[in-house]
């Protein structure tokens, strides 16, 4: 009787272990794989796409959910900015109100969103979470967004060119004879200014056109 009781107790002890192994097996097989860009750069006023893709071992159903959250720089507080379950539910409050759009396709494994009229205040960390029961275990990728002004680049180039032009004009008025080294330096400066001028023209064309980022 004691032997039977001992065997029974060993069987009971093994059952939880089998349960753990089975759970681990489910965890490994039924899981999601999510990918997102680690860094995204955008420009003030130009629509920005935050790309997020996923792979699931289960077929997509109406139980699939997608949640995008945002965390400002130097902060541990996150806020929900978008939710999806059969329909799109962008946030109706906060700084992202009326600026988040759904650009994904769950049947193609795409959970991407876009931000319209971005500003520098939108800089921060965005996270994309997807659940497709029974696939609910997954990594949560994070995207660092940096928004800058396009015009700032052009302005800095123009200021630098103006300073160099003023320096050359001042030297030409002084009337002294230039050495061969100074003539060589002037030639290099002229070539650099010509290159900067072409770059400024190109930047101006980008600003004046209906150019949009290619994602």
Tens-place pLDDT, residues 80-113: 999 999 999 999 999 999 999 999 999 999 999 9
**How far is residue 195's CA from residue 213's CA, in Å, rounded to a whole number?**
24
Residue 153: per-residue pLDDT: 55
Mean pLDDT of 173-186: 51
Residue of 81, 86, 26 whose CA lies nearest to 57: 26
Task: Provide the mean pLDDT of the chain.
Answer: 76
Residue 199: per-residue pLDDT: 59
Reported for 149-158, long-range contacts at CB under 8 A and 24+ positions apart, including other chains, are 149/43, 149/44, 149/120, 150/43, 150/44, 150/46, 150/203, 150/206, 150/207, 151/207, 153/203, 154/200, 154/203, 154/204, 154/207, 157/196, 157/199, 157/200, 157/203, 158/200
Residue 120: per-residue pLDDT: 95
Residue 9: per-residue pLDDT: 44
Residue 163 clears pLDDT 90, i.e. is over it: no
What SS3 class is residue 179? coil
**How far is residue 153's CA from residue 96's CA, in Å, rounded to a whole number?**
26
pLDDT digits (tens, 9 = 90+) for 50-61: 999 999 999 999
Looking at the domain that runs over 30-148, which CATH code has it been given? 2.60.40.10
Residue 200 clears pLDDT 70, i.e. is over it: no
Could you tell me the maximum CA-CA distance found in the chain, to the nearest angstrom?
118
Is residue 134 within 8 Å of 58, Cβ to Cβ? yes
Mean pLDDT of 116-145: 94
DSSP state of 212: -
**How far is residue 123's CA from residue 39's CA, in Å, rounded to a whole number?**
11
Backbone Cα Rg of the chain: 29
pTM recorded for the entire structure: 0.61
Q: For a pLDDT cut of 90, what percent of the chain falls above it?
A: 50
Residue 30: per-residue pLDDT: 54
Residue 85: per-residue pLDDT: 97
Mean pLDDT of 181-204: 54
Mean pLDDT of 126-146: 93
Q: What count of other Cβ atoms lies within 10 Å of the Cβ of residue 66? A: 25
Q: For a pLDDT cut of 70, what percent of the chain falls above it?
A: 57
Residue 24 clears pLDDT 50, i.e. is over it: no
Mean pLDDT of 168-186: 54
Mean pLDDT of 66-90: 95
Mean pLDDT of 3-13: 46
Higher pLDDT, 176 or 82: 82
Residue 155: per-residue pLDDT: 63
What SS3 class is residue 194? helix
């Amino acid at each position: 009787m004691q032997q039977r009781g001992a065997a029974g107790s060993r069987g009971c002890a093994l059952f939880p272990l089998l349960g753990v192994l089975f759970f681990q097996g489910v965890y490994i097989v039924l899981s999601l794989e999510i990918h997102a860009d680690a860094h995204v750069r955008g420009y003030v006023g130009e629509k920005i796409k935050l790309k997020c893709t996923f792979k699931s071992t289960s077929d997509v159903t109406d139980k699939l959910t997608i949640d995008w959250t945002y965390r400002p720089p130097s902060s541990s507080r996150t806020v929900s900015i978008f939710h999806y379950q059969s329909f799109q539910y962008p946030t109706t409050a906060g700084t992202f109100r009326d600026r988040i759009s759904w650009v994904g396709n769950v049947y193609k494994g795409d959970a991407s969103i876009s931000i319209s009229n971005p500003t520098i205040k939108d800089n921060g960390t965005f996270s994309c979470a997807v659940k497709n029961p029974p696939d609910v275990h997954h990594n949560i990728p994070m995207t660092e967004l940096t928004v800058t002004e396009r015009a700032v680049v052009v302005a800095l180039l123009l200021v630098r060119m103006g300073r160099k032009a003023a320096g050359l004009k001042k030297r030409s008025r002084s009337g002294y004879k230039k050495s061969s080294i100074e003539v060589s330096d002037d030639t290099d400066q002229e070539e650099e200014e010509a290159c900067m001028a072409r770059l400024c023209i190109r930047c101006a064309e980008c600003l004046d056109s209906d150019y949009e980022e290619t994602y």
